[in-house]
């Protein structure tokens, strides 16, 4: 992803599903007007989910996901089917592609049922519609009444425009879309952002949550002042105006909390993103599991990205060290990154997740639900670090509903 591109987590994820040779890849090429996907008469050309970030008018920035066929065979085929179904966990709109000449199969109907159970907006696309008559179309409409049905031809470019319009209309309205920080601010407010530049910081740029937070502050017509942690005190003394909020990298919470006056609101990027992805209350309630840890308990530490680990990495080095120091116990830490997330969470005493800037909201909600269904406490990096340093209540003060939870 270039520095000018919309982050993948902010794109509408469109999952393309169906049997082998139903025309999934051909349809992607027709929708996009580009030869993005490899097309072949050989079954099983797409063997892993393929992600294509692009602009799709009239929708805007999207992530199109081409998936393996849901009727693949053999041991490898079963694994590919599993990968295809996993894509549902991050899909905002699902397109199920059915070969008109073949008709809906048991696999198609099973997939459609799963999509409806997950309450994912669904379009059922009958491809190669030039091969069937009107009676057949009527029969398909009766059989597939549990989803919006469209008849198209990727090869002949029939009804492709109508399909794109239907996709745009299917996107859930975002007039109430969550904001990172803008809803906490008024025009002309000052916000100080504390950004350590250490060995783990990427060369030549800020990390994604910092970039997105700055953009959100500007959207609110407020001012963002970015400083390193050793310049915070000097900045606050010479700013000439009391900031509305101080936002810090969670790793320097202790120092920043000590230097930020009590009458200035304080939080972290990680806590803001917990709220943005819809899991702040869950994270605040889940962090108390730290107090019941015993030697040998397993803690799952999850990251949404796959960056190169540094010698003092927050997730794999600092956080485990701080947890051991706080609890006086010696738990076992298990680490996951990127799209990998265990289905069976029962071995874990708790889950500590990153802010999930690289995951879309639907995938993050899926992970939270997996934990809730298995009664595993779920929290995040920023909440954990604030709790360990005894400043959790202060760091959620900007969010009155969450703040009240800690008064009970």
- pLDDT tens by residue, 153-194: 998 999 999 999 999 888 876 645 789 999 999 999 999 999
- For the chain, the average pLDDT equals 89
**Does residue 147 have a pLDDT over 60?**
yes
Confidence of residue 360 (pLDDT cuts 50, 70, 90): confident
CB atoms within 10 A of CB 121: 18
Mean pLDDT, range 370-385, rounded to an integer? 96
Are the beta carbons of 281 and 408 closer than 8 angstroms?
Answer: no
Confidence of residue 47 (pLDDT cuts 50, 70, 90): low
Which DSSP category does 339 fall into? T
Which residue do the tokens 């269904």 mark? 373
d(CA 93, CA 17): 11
Confidence of residue 1 (pLDDT cuts 50, 70, 90): very low
**Does residue 325 have a pLDDT over 70?**
yes
Highest mean pLDDT of the ranges 134-148, 282-296, 356-370: 282-296
Confidence of residue 65 (pLDDT cuts 50, 70, 90): very high
**Does residue 309 have a pLDDT over 80?**
no
Higher pLDDT, 198 or 134: 134
**Does residue 12 have a pLDDT over 50?**
yes
- Residues in the chain, total: 408
Are the beta carbons of 62 and 94 closer than 8 angstroms?
Answer: no
Are the beta carbons of 94 and 120 closer than 8 angstroms?
Answer: yes
**Does residue 358 have a pLDDT over 60?**
yes
**Does residue 346 have a pLDDT over 70?**
yes
d(CA 261, CA 24): 57
Taking the mean position of all CA atoms in its chain, how far away is CA 125? 26
Beta strands in 38-92 (DSSP E): 50-56, 60-66
d(CA 399, CA 266): 11
Segment among 31-35, 95-99, 329-333 with least mean pLDDT = 31-35
In order of start, what are the domains of the chain with their CATH numbers? Answer: 8-170 (3.40.50.300), 182-273 (3.40.50.11420), 278-388 (3.40.50.11410)
List, in order, residues 6 or more apart from 98 with CB less than 8 Å away: 18, 19, 22, 104, 108, 124, 125, 126, 127, 140
List, in order, residues 6 or more apart from 90 with CB less than 8 Å away: 13, 15, 65, 359, 360, 362, 363, 366
Q: In 171-207, which ranges are continuous DSSP H helix?
A: none
d(CA 155, CA 29): 10
Percent of the chain with pLDDT over 90: 64
d(CA 296, CA 301): 15
Give long-range contacts, CB 8 A cutoff, 24+ apart: 81-87.
83/48, 83/49, 84/17, 84/49, 85/111, 85/114, 86/49, 86/339, 87/15, 87/17, 87/49
Q: What is the pLDDT of residue 38?
A: 55
Q: What is the pLDDT of residue 115?
A: 94
Mean pLDDT, range 83-104, rounded to an integer? 93
Beta strand pairing status for 122-127 and 148-151? parallel
CA dist 269 → 4, 391, 396 (Å): 21, 15, 12
**Does residue 79 have a pLDDT over 80?**
yes
d(CA 273, CA 210): 10
Q: What is the pLDDT of residue 39?
A: 55
Span 192-212, pLDDT tens digits: 999 998 666 667 778 889 999
**Does residue 35 have a pLDDT over 80?**
no
């Amino acid at each position: 992803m270039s520095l000018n591109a919309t982050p993948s987590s902010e794109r509408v994820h469109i999952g393309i599903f169906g049997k082998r040779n139903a025309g999934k890849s051909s349809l992607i090429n027709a929708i996009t007007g580009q030869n993005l996907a490899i097309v072949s008469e050989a079954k099983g050309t797409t063997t892993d989910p393929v992600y294509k970030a692009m602009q799709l008018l009239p929708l805007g920035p999207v992530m199109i996901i081409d998936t393996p066929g849901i009727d693949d065979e053999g041991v490898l085929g079963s694994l590919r089917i599993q990968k295809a179904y996993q894509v549902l966990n991050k899909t905002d709109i699902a397109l199920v592609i059915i070969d008109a000449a073949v008709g809906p199969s048991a696999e198609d109907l099973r997939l459609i049922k799963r999509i409806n159970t997950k309450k994912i907006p669904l379009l059922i696309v009958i491809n190669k519609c030039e091969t069937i008559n009107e009676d057949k179309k009527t029969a398909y409409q009766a059989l597939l009444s549990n989803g919006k049905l469209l008849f198209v031809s990727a090869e002949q470019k029939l009804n492709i425009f109508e399909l794109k319009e239907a996709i745009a209309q299917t996107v859930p309205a975002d007039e109430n879309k969550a904001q990172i920080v803008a809803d906490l601010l008024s025009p002309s407010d000052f916000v100080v952002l504390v950004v350590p530049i250490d060995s783990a910081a990427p060369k030549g740029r800020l990390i994604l949550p910092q970039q997105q937070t700055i953009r959100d502050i500007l959207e609110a017509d407020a001012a963002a002042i970015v400083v390193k942690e050793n310049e915070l005190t000097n900045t606050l003394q010479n700013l000439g105006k009391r900031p509305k909020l101080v936002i810090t990298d969670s790793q320097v919470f202790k120092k920043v909390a000590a230097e930020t006056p009590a009458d200035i609101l304080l939080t972290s990027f990680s806590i803001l993103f917990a709220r943005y992805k819809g899991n702040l209350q869950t994270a605040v309630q889940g962090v108390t599991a730290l107090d019941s840890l015993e030697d040998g308990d397993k803690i799952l530490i999850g990251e949404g990205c796959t960056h190169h680990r540094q010698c003092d990495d927050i997730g794999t080095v600092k956080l485990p060290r701080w947890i051991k120091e706080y609890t006086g116990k010696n738990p076992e830490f298990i680490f996951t990154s990127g799209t990998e997330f265990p289905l069976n969470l029962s071995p874990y005493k708790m889950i500590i997740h990153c802010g999930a800037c690289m995951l879309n909201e639907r995938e993050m909600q899926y992970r939270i639900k997996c934990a809730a269904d298995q009664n595993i406490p779920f929290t995040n990096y920023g909440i954990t670090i604030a709790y360990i340093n005894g400043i959790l209540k202060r760091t959620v003060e900007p969010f009155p509903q969450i703040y009240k939870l800690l008064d009970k």
